Structures are given as C-alpha cells and as structure tokens.
Amino acid sequence: MIPAELKKGTAEVLILSLLEDRPRHGYELAKLIERRSEGVLEFHVASLYPMLYRLERRGWIEGRWVERAGQRRRRFYRLTPAGRKALPEQRRGWREFIRAIRRVAQVDHV
Amino acid sequence: MSDWKKYVRNHLPPLGLSGPREAEIIEELAQQLEGAYSEALARGSTEAEAEARAAAVIPDWTALAAEIRRAERAGFTGRPEPARESAARRLTTEFWQDVRYGARLLARTPGFAAVILLTLALGIGANSMMFTVVNAVLLRPLPYPHPEQLVLLRDFNHDKGFDSFSVAPGNFLDWRAQSRSFTGMAAFGGASFNYTGGPFPERIAAMRVTEGFFEALGVQPVAGRSFQSSDFQQGQDHVVLLSYGLWQKIFQGDPQALGRNIQLSDEPYTVVGVMPPGLRFISREQDVWAPWAFPPAWSQVRGAHFLSVLARRKPGVTLEQARAEMAGIGQRLAAQYPDVNRGWGVRTDLLYENVVGDARPALLLLLAAVATLLLIACGNVANMLLARTLERRREIAVRASLGAGKWRLVRQMLAESLLLSLTGGALGLLLAVGGTRTLISMAPQVLPRADAIHLDPWVLGFTFAVAVLTGIVFGLAPMVTVARQDLQQTLKEGGRTSSASQRLRGALVSAEVALALVLLVGAGLLIGSFARLEAVAPGFRTERALAFDVSLPRTRYADAPRKAAFYESLIERLLTLPGVQSAAAVTTLPLSDNDESYTFEVENKPNEPGKEPSAMYYDVTPGYFQTMGIPLLAGRDFSRTDALDTPRVCIINDVLAREYFPGLDPVGRHLFLGAGQGRIFREIVGVVGSVKHYWLGEKPQPQAYEPLAQVPDSGATIVVRSTLDPGSLTAAVRGRVQAVDAQLPIAHVITFDQLVAESVSQPRFRTLLLGLFAAFAVALAVAGLYGVMSYTVTQRTREIGIRMVLGAQRKSVYQLVVGQGMILVGMGVVVGLGSALGLTRLLKRFLFGVEATDLLTFIAVSALLVVVAACACFFPARRASRVDPLESLRYE
C-alpha cells in the first residue's frame, strides 16, 4: 500500500510531466495518467481536480478556457515558467525516493 | 443524462468560493463525468450503465468539496488574488450558494421536504387568511375622507338596560342646535321602496337622511347635485340620489336620467344626482337616498326613539372632548324634560366602532388561534430539522474542520430555514386565497365589509414577514445546536445523538402539546356553547315554514281598512295554495333583526316615573300563533271580529303574565301599550308562550301582541306554514301576492330553518373556525410527538435490544416507549391546562350556558388529547417491541 502522501506526490510529478510538452485539459490528463500507469496507479478523478487547483494556486500551472470551433470550451492547463523550473527538482526528489525504496526492498528480499 | 452540469451542481456541496470560480469548477467536473459517460456509451454500455459509470467517477462529493476547498485555500499563490469582493456581495453570493445547497439537500429527501412545506403552508396560510380578513374588516380605514372624525351618536338608558339605543328626534334637534364640537350632524334611517319600473315589482333599499348628511360624511355625487336645503321642506322632498348601481341598472348610466322622475312606492321622485360607485354606509347597501323632512311636531317627540345620528368632529376636537360635550348636553336635556328624558344619556362612538365593533373580538380570537397554530407548526418543523441536523452532524463537522466558521455554518442553516419558510409561505398564500374565498361564502353576513376582503400588498407583506419570522423561529433550534456543537466530539461519536438535543426535542413537543391543548379547550368551550345554543327551542316551530316581507305603499293603502283588507285577502288566497296549512302576518318577525318595543302599564298599577317596564311588541293577524306553532296557554286567539270598530284587545306572553300578574289570571284584565295612539287600555284576551326574539340565548322577556286590524301597519312579514318543502313555495307565493296587487313586490323570502340558522351564524362561524384550527393544532402536535418517539426508538434500538437480551418482556418495552412519550404529553397537558385556565376567561363573551372554566370540558379535551397522543406513541412502541435483540446488537 502506498501512503497517501506519496500518492499525492507521484501524481503531482505525473501531472507536471504530462504538461511538459503541451497544454492538456483535465479529462485528457485523467485518461493519460490511467493509461501510462497501466492502471497500476488507480488514480481517482476525485483527487485530480483538487490537485490541479492546488498546483495552479502554487503558480506551477495555469488553466485557461479555450474554445475550438464546433466544440465546447475546455480548460487547458499548461506549465508556467515556475512549474517548468520546479519539474526537474521534483523529478530528482522522486528518483531518489524510488531508488531508496528499491534499496530497501532489495535488502528485504535478501 | 443530458445535463451533467446540473448533476454536479446537485451533488457538490457549496465550496464557499466566488460565483464564477465555482461555476468554472462545476463545468470542469461536469466535463469529466460527461467524458466517462460518452466513453462508456462508445464501448457499448447501456445508457443506465454509462450513467452509473459516470456517477462512480466521484464517489464522495463531500470529500471532494473539502479537498477542492483546501486546494483553493492554499497559501502561496503565483497570481495576485482577484480584487476582494465587498462584504455585502460576498454575503449575498454565499447566501445564494447556501440556498442552492439547501434546495439540493431537500430535493434529495422529497418526503421530508413535502411534510415540512405542508406544515408551513398550513400554518402560514391560516395566518394569511385570517390577516386578509382582519386587514379588510378591522384595519383598513372606512372609505370616507378623514374617517377618524366621524362619530355615531346614540341614546342610552342604563336603568332600562339599553346600552345603546336609537335617538328620539326632539333630542337630535337639540343636540344639533347646542353642540359645538362638530362641523356637521345629521340623522338617518333605513327605509325601503317598492320599485315598479322594472320587469317585475321589486323592493329597493333606501336611506332617509336629514340635511347635511353627505357633507358630514364627506361624499359628493358623481353626477348631478347633492341634496340642498329646499329638499328638506315637506312637500318638496320627493327627490332622490341614485346609487351608481341602480343608475346603471335603470338608466344604463344615462346622464339624461338627471331630472327624470321614477316611481317609488307609487310616488314620483325626481332624480337629482348619482352617488359614487361602491358607496355604502353602516355595512348596508343602499339603492337610493331620499331627504328626510321632519314634521314640525317631531321637535317635541322625545319618547319615541327611531333615529340614528352621524356627526363629523371639527379638526382638533378630540373624541374625549366631543364625548364630554355631548354627555353634558344629555344631562341638561334629562333635567329639562324629566318626564321623558330621565335616565337617558348620549353616547358618542367612532363610526368605525359601530361598523366593526361586533366583529372584532371574534376576529382577534381567531387571529390569536392561528398564531398559536403557527407556533405549533414551527415547533414541528424545528423538531424535524433538529433531527436532520443531528443526522448531518458529520457533514457539518467535516465542513467546520475544513475551515467553515460557526457563523458561516449558522448562516447556512438560516438560509435553509428561510428557503423552507418562504416556499411554505408562498404555498400558504395560495391556501389563504382559497380559504378566504370559502370563508366569505360561508358567512357573508357575519363579516362587515366582506366585499372589501381581498388580497392586497398588506397581505403579501404580512405573509412575507410571517414567513421570514417563522423561518428564523423554527431555524433557531438547529442553529443553536450547530453553534454549540463540539465538533471534535461529533466526529468521534460518529453521529450519535447528544442528550441535550434530545431534551430540546422533547421540550418542543411538550410545548406543542400545551399550545394545542389551549386551543382545544377553547374550541371545546365554544362547541359546548354552540351545542347548547342550537338546542334552545326558539318558541316556535321551525320546520316547513316560510316568511316573506311586503310593504304597502301609502298611496293605494292610505287607511287602515284598506291595509286590513289587503292582508285578509292575501292570507285567504295563500290558504288556497296546495300544501299550505295556515298563513298570517306579523309586523316584526322573531330572529329577523327587526324589533319594536314599547313601555306598558298594567291597569290600576301606575308605573314609577323612569321605571316603566317595556315589552317586545307585535301586530299580528288571526292565526299567527297557529302558523308559528306558538302555544296558546290561556284565553283565545285574535279573530276577524277584532277590528277597528270593536273593543281593543291584546295577547301577552307567559313571562309578562307571570311577572306582572303574579298569582292572577291575566285574561280579562287590561294593559296599556305605549304604541302611540292615546292611552288606550286593552283587554287581555289570551296568554301565549314566549319566543326568542333577538337570539336563541336571550333570557325570556315580556312580549305583547295586538291585532293588526286594529293598528294596521304598512309593512309586514307574511308567514306561511306548509306540508311541503317551504323553499318550493316561493314562486307560488309571489303569484298569489301579485294576484292581490300586481304592483307589489315581495322581499326577504326565507324559510324558518334558514332564519334560525342565520341567527346563529356568528357563533357557528367562530366555533367552526376555532374547531378547525384546534384540530389542525392537535394533528400537528401529535405528528410531532410521533416523530420524536420514532426517532427515539431508532436511536435506542441497541439499548432496547440489550434489555430484551437481559430478559425484558415486550410489555415492558411498550411501557418504556409509551411511558417516555406520555411524560412529554403529561408535561404539556399540565402547562396547557394552566394556561387555558388563565386564557379562557377571554372567551367569556362567546360562551352560552358554559363557564369559562368548565371542568367537564377541561377534562374531556385533556382526555381526548392524551388518548390521541398515546396512539401516536403506540406505533413506535410496537416497533420497539419487535426489535430482534441479536439484530439490534449488530445495528451500529
């Protein structure tokens, strides 16, 4: 079982990563997380949106309503410069964490 | 599902964010759900499956709302905060959020909402209904300029028991000459005319007025002129002012009508003007107004009282000053004319008092009753909301722990209360409109100014104010509970009821029972009175009899023989009608609002001056007693031989016989009745039973009869006793009257049953309404008790289960539950009886044959209430006794 704190942290990195190359809207993000984690991270939409709002408040991402011809308007989120700057830091932290977990797990196995 | 936005709005608790931001979030979440839904559909799910799939996306809305709120509140922000909304705007926004949230909550429990709204609609509706009536009847000023200056002057004589009496013309003329307090004073009196210009002869209502009447009233004609001095000279007084209605009816509103003549009671009258539409005076509707030219001799007539007097106070003269001046004048006149005026005085009352005075006590009583009903309704709604608040404690605690302040939560509760009370008020208004209409149609003659009763802005404002107040009152208990709630404790407890709120609910129920009991005691007393009143025999037989009025015009019936001949011939013809057993004429029909009363003197027993006894007085034709079913106790009835050329005779009732001829046989003795044709002592030829004249509850009083042939009157009521349904006789009777005189209308056709029913319409009206309100009150209080007991049983299921495991019998479970309920009822009954004991004193004036503290009524209604309450406890108790002990332990 993954502690809630970790889950939240994971998801934040995921979101920031997914927004790295282009802006996406909420539904798209939900689908992508579900697909890329191959269902392992059972990620509830119920936590996606609060997370988006928190990141937005933190100033890392920015949501904007975009209208496309023939479609309803969608709220697209993109990385802000602050978010772009924060992403590597976040990734590094996570990599270290995962490495640590792996080490501990191997010790356990041995 | 087409509208996912609505779905989200219905599920997401208010976030406490700005309106636009909240809308944004709702839209975004809706898109998420819609995405899941379309995707499921695309994969081949049915619509229902797809909907379920979408709904599963967000399993816990409260938690989501909490998270979003926390996210949005996050301290650091890269963006500047949007400009702060003003406090007022924020409050408004939040209020509407709260209202929407409350509406969503209620929509999820439609049964709960419906019961509350119905209760409130009933409580507020009853109040709006009574206020509509009270507003029109009591509060709205009379429709004349400066109505507060208008007074009515009446004679009184406390020695004779007349608190308010018609005025003698000699006194009126002296008042008018001597008083300084008034800008104008005029006498008036009701009259009627036969109008023969229409398709069939009809009786029209008239009012005779002396000079200056309309100036005092402050009303001007809309066409033509008002009366002028010359109209009041005898011989020049054949002019009339038409009511607007009659002008439309006869002349179709033609202005050429002015100056034309119309035939009224066979005499030509010139139309000089038309009065404004809707003008009415002293509750009665008039068709025409005619000048009242006093014969010169009237200036000395002080013993005959038949005028009413209207006056307008000068600006700056208070009612007290006018009263004092008139009292002084009355005393001077009593000293000046001791033989006729001793004991008589003047009373000066606001015209308003005369118009509405009689209706006021009953209306105020009913208004108090509906206010009580509303209090009970509030108690019930408060109880239901309290129960729900307890169920919502977790939600409330979660919201509070997420940063919603207590004040914010209380505001949320208030918004929900107001939502309920205003919706209930709107429904109540609909009920009130219907109820008011029913009320008026039920008892048109009971309410003065009934035609003015309608919905107006005051009623709307009243209803709104009552609804808001109601919402605050019944919302108070849940609000206080929320404000005092120990949130941490609640979260730990997992929503079990605290004993304090349980006590509060019990207290509310006891209070409801107490209030209901007060109403029930009041209703019980009125019902008891009414039953006793209805049981009173009026002194005549009421079944299968009919009465109608005729009025003989003096042109064709100038003298006594002609009048007597008319009555004789009419009665003869009526007797030929199939089914008619007997018929007769009488000048004043009992229970008909008309009366004639004269002082009398027994032969050889001169009266003490100022202490003359008086008797109700009737002129009748032979056969009257038989037709009415009044028993002849001694002597004989009048006969056709009792005429103008035979000795004067009279018949008295048993009361007069007993009181003034004690131990003697009055038949053959003589009596002088002051009916105004000299001091003629009449021989008493018979004694009859007494009849109720004014109302069924009156004490038996002296009554005397004279043969109509010896004192022929122009107007009389014809009574007809039949073996057939009297209502079916009207057309035949009209035909017989027309056969005698084709120009003569009949009026006021009424069966005796109707006559008696109308005489008790006032007590019936208030008894029925108070009974109805009390029934509602009991139903509400008992429903409240049932609610609390059911809730208690649910809460105590576990405890009851344990008791049963430990060997408690079903019977003792019953006792436990019913006993607990009856303690609440008992406390209510004790408080209720105490309050009723103090309050029923106010009912005294409405009671007949029952004391305000009638023990039997108090016991009976308490017993009734206790039995009904016990039934209400029985069902929860039965449920408790059927608790499966093992199941109940798993209950949590």
Bigger pLDDT: B419 or B884? B419
Whether the CB of A59 is below 8 Å from some CB of chain B: the reply is yes
- The yes-or-no verdict on residue B576 having pLDDT over 70 is yes
Bigger pLDDT: B187 or B386? B187
Closest by CA position to A62, among listed A82, A43, A42, A85: A82
Place B523 in a pLDDT band, splitting at 50, 70 and 90: very high
- The yes-or-no verdict on residue B109 having pLDDT over 70 is yes
CA distance A88 to chain B (A): 19
Question: In the prediction, which pLDDT does B492 show?
Answer: 55
Mean pLDDT to the nearest integer, B17-39: 87
| Nearest chain B residue to A61, by CA | B78
- The yes-or-no verdict on residue B83 having pLDDT over 60 is no
- Per-residue burial over B567-601, b = 16 or more CB atoms within 10 Å of its CB, e = otherwise: bbebbebbeebeebbbbbbbbbbbbbebeebbbbb
Instruction: Spell out the residues 6+ positions from residue B355 whose beta carbon is closer than 8 angstroms to its own.
Output: B142, B282, B283, B448, B449
Mean pLDDT, all residues of chain B: 86
Domain layout of chain B by residue ranges? 4-84, 88-144+371-496, 147-314, 500-528+762-892, 554-742
Rounded CA-CA distance B71/A62 in Å is 14
Domain layout of chain A by residue ranges? 4-109
| Nearest chain B residue to A55, by CA | B71
**C-beta atoms of B67 and A26 within 8 A:** no
Question: In the prediction, which pLDDT does A27 show?
Answer: 86
- The yes-or-no verdict on residue B778 having pLDDT over 60 is yes
* B35 vs A contacts (CB less than 8 Å): 27, 30-31
Q: Which of B107-111, B324-328, B710-714, B804-808 has the highest mean pLDDT?
A: B324-328
Bigger pLDDT: B726 or A34? B726
**C-beta atoms of B31 and A74 within 8 A:** yes
CA distance A108 to chain B (A): 36
Whether the Cβ atoms of residue B213 and residue B360 lie closer than 8 Å to each other? no
Q: Which two tokens stand for residue B237?
A: 């007084």
Whether the CB of A93 is below 8 Å from some CB of chain B: the reply is no
- The yes-or-no verdict on residue B132 having pLDDT over 80 is yes
Share of chain B above pLDDT 70, in %: 94
Summarised one tens digit per residue, pLDDT across range B628-684 is 999 999 999 999 899 888 899 999 999 999 999 998 999 999 998 865 556 788 999
- Just give the CATH number of A4-109: 1.10.10.10
**C-beta atoms of A49 and B32 within 8 A:** yes
Closest by CA position to B733, among listed B153, B596, B744: B744
Rounded CA-CA distance B728/B577 in Å is 12
Taking the alpha carbons of B290, B291, B292, B295 in that order, is the dihedral positive or negative?
negative
**C-beta atoms of B64 and A50 within 8 A:** yes
Q: Which of B181-185, B442-446, B447-451, B746-750 has the highest mean pLDDT?
A: B181-185
* A75 vs B contacts (CB less than 8 Å): 24, 27-28
Rounded CA-CA distance B428/B400 in Å is 35
**C-beta atoms of B72 and A57 within 8 A:** yes
* A58 vs B contacts (CB less than 8 Å): 74, 76-78
**C-beta atoms of B76 and A72 within 8 A:** no
Summarised one tens digit per residue, pLDDT across range B803-857 is 888 888 888 888 888 888 899 999 999 999 999 998 888 888 899 988 888 999 9
**Residue B346, SS3?**
strand
| Nearest chain A residue to B66, by CA | A50
Summarised one tens digit per residue, pLDDT across range B682-706 is 999 999 999 999 889 888 899 999 9
Strand B308-313 and strand B182-195: pairing? antiparallel
Would you tell me which residues 24-63 of chain B have a C-beta closer than 8 angstroms to some C-beta of chain A?
Answer: 24-25, 27-29, 31-32, 35, 57-60, 63
* A51 vs B contacts (CB less than 8 Å): 71
Strand order in the sheet with A74-79: A24-25, A74-79, A61-66
Question: In the prediction, which pLDDT does B77 show?
Answer: 46
Rounded CA-CA distance B375/B780 in Å is 10
Question: In the prediction, which pLDDT does A43 show?
Answer: 63
* B79 vs A contacts (CB less than 8 Å): 59
* B25 vs A contacts (CB less than 8 Å): 49, 53
- The yes-or-no verdict on residue B479 having pLDDT over 50 is yes
**Residue B189, SS3?**
strand
**C-beta atoms of B72 and A30 within 8 A:** no
Place B79 in a pLDDT band, splitting at 50, 70 and 90: very low
CA distance B780 to chain A (A): 44
H/E stretch holding B685 reads strand B681-688
* A44 vs B contacts (CB less than 8 Å): 57, 59
Whether the CB of A47 is below 8 Å from some CB of chain B: the reply is yes
Cβ-based neighbour number of residue B271 at 10 Å:
23
Summarised one tens digit per residue, pLDDT across range B432-475 is 999 888 888 876 677 777 777 888 888 999 999 999 998 888 88
* A82 vs B contacts (CB less than 8 Å): 78
Residue B501 identity: S
CA distance B66 to chain A (A): 9
Place B196 in a pLDDT band, splitting at 50, 70 and 90: confident
Rounded CA-CA distance B304/B396 in Å is 79
**C-beta atoms of B28 and A51 within 8 A:** no
Find which of A24, A43, A45, A79 to mutate to test the B interface (most B CBs within 10 Å of its CB): A45
Closest by CA position to B664, among listed B616, B603, B598, B600: B603
Closest by CA position to B352, among listed B164, B149, B187, B142: B142
**C-beta atoms of B74 and A60 within 8 A:** no
Find which of B15, B64, B69, B73 to mutate to test the A interface (most A CBs within 10 Å of its CB): B64
Rounded CA-CA distance B286/B205 in Å is 5
- The yes-or-no verdict on residue B271 having pLDDT over 90 is yes
Question: In the prediction, which pLDDT does B447 show?
Answer: 79
Question: In the prediction, which pLDDT does A110 show?
Answer: 38
Question: In the prediction, which pLDDT does B203 show?
Answer: 87
Q: Which residues of chain A have pLDDT under 70?
A: 1-9, 37-43, 101, 104-110
Residue B505 identity: R
**C-beta atoms of A45 and B57 within 8 A:** yes
Summarised one tens digit per residue, pLDDT across range B529-556 is 999 998 999 999 999 999 999 988 888 8
Question: In the prediction, which pLDDT does A3 show?
Answer: 47
